[in-house]
Structure formats: C-alpha cells, structure tokens
Amino acid sequence: SLGEYSALVAIGSLPLGAAVRWVRERGLAMQRAVPKGEGTMAAILGLDDALILTLCERATSEAIKKRAENSGDPDELSVEAIVEPANYNSPGQVVIAGSKDGIAEAIHLIKTDSEFSKGKIIPLQVSAPFHCKLMAPARERMAEIFSQVEAAHKPKMPICPYVPNRTARMTREAGLVFELLIEQVDHPVLWKQSVTTLLDAGYTHSVEFGPGKVLSGLIKRIAPQSSSENPRKYTQLSINESSHLKSLDVVLKSQERAYV
C-alpha cells in the first residue's frame, strides 16, 4: 500500500517532499492505532477468496463468543474482536488481519475444521494488524492531515493512469486521490485485482523497484501462462541496483503506461 504513494509521486500527482512526510505520519498512525500485542496478521495459502471470507466470519464469531464467556478476564483485549482479509496477494494467497484472539481462532479453524482442511496458515511477525477495521484511528488521522493540506500540495492530474489499492480500477481523477489514500488504511490491499486490471487492459510488462522479487513472483502467479489460446507473454523486471536500469529500455519504449 505504501507503493500507492510512490506511484502517485512517479506520475506527478503528489510532490515528493510532502508524500514522504505523509508516509511517515501514516506509519506512526497505523502503529498507534492498536495497543501493542493486541492485533496481528497471518498468511493463508490454498483457499479461495470466498472460503477465506467464511473463515474470517467464523473466527470473528468464535472470538466474540469466547470473550462473552470470559467477560471480566484481566487479560481481555481492549480492541474489537475481528478478523478480516487485509492483502489479496495472488490466487491462493491472502493475508488476514485482526485482533489477537480472532487470528488465533482462524488458526484453530484451519487446523481442525474439515471445511478449511486444504488451507495452510502462517502467523506473521508484524507490529500491528494493518488494513483492517482496527486501523480506523489511523484512517481518521490521515483524513485530518489531508484536510489541512495547502493548495500547492494537493493532488494534480496524473500524467498517466494509476491503480489505487482501494478500487483496483485504473483512474486519472486527481479529486479522488486523498479520499482513496484515506480509505486504503483500513481496507484490504487489492493487489491481485489491481494486477488483473492491468493484464485485462493489455499490459504485458511490469517493473519492480526495490530489493527482492516478491511482487514479480506474485504477478507470475496472477498472470495466465502463455498458450496457443493465450499467446501473450508477460515480462517482469526487477530493478534493485543502478546497473539494472538499462533493462528498462524495452518498457520505456511502450506507448501505454500505468502505475500500481
């Protein structure tokens, strides 16, 4: 989701200096939204999106039920009992976020309930349950910050389309930029859907900036394999040092660009 700010700077919609300050404020707000140790996240492999939604609903219900049974427990969490999808990474890979007890219930269900037996769940070592309802205080903070932005730093018309995390639909509407950046804080990151949008629009190259090739690997799982029925080939480039910039030539010659 941080990449949405990078994309908006790259396409001339946001000024770099202001965006860096906003990202810092966003990080602090998200960290402060939930008391330490009361929220967490987990990656789920092998289940489709509909089944993951069912899992989240069941885990939330179980956590609420157990809290009612143990009302008055000195170790009771202060945040709402909840589990929600947080990151749609690729087919069969979704990250969930929520209260500590809610995620514990999700782990228990996958390990014991036959309905979810094809799934695998991996607890993540994170400092907060990002991109779920528990991030509401951080969303409010970003709304406050953007409401006070001076005219010179307000979003400008992008030079090309971009794909917001919140909608996974290409847009160039400057008036929606702040609204979408606010909403992405407590809503899931639609990475799989965003990449699918670009693929459906005919894009065939992607460039990942930064260390590693995590996003390129996810795109490879999202993009259909080349075949006689689908002859298109998808090219992923990873740029993690200056010498790799030469490999950008083929992409920069393309007439159509979009950012995600």
Residues 6+ positions from 253 with CB-CB distance below 8 Å: none
131: annotated active-site residue: yes
| Residue 135 backbone dihedrals phi, psi, to 5 degrees | -85, 10
Give pLDDT, residue 129: 97
**Could you tell me the end-to-end alpha-carbon distance of the chain, in angstroms, rounded to an integer?**
9
Summarised one tens digit per residue, pLDDT across range 62-93 is 999 999 998 767 678 899 999 999 999 999 99
User: In a 3-state reduction of DSSP, which class is residue 22?
Assistant: helix
* Full-model pTM: 0.90
Residues 6+ positions from 227 with CB-CB distance below 8 Å: none
Give pLDDT, residue 188: 98
Give pLDDT, residue 75: 73
Select from 43, 35, 32, 2 the least CA-distant residue to 20.
2
Q: Which of 13, 99, 131, 194 is catalytic?
A: 131
Provide the 8-state DSSP code for 250: H
Summarised one tens digit per residue, pLDDT across range 141-195 is 999 999 999 999 999 999 999 999 999 999 999 999 999 999 999 999 999 999 9
Give pLDDT, residue 258: 62
d(CA 95, CA 88) in angstroms, rounded, equals 7
Find the angle CA(50)-CA(135)-CA(89) to the nearest 5 degrees.
Answer: 40
Structure tokens at 239: 């740029």
Structure tokens at 148: 């006070």
Summarised one tens digit per residue, pLDDT across range 14-62 is 999 999 999 999 999 999 999 999 999 999 999 999 999 999 999 999 9
Give pLDDT, residue 239: 80
244: annotated active-site residue: no
d(CA 130, CA 184) in angstroms, rounded, equals 10
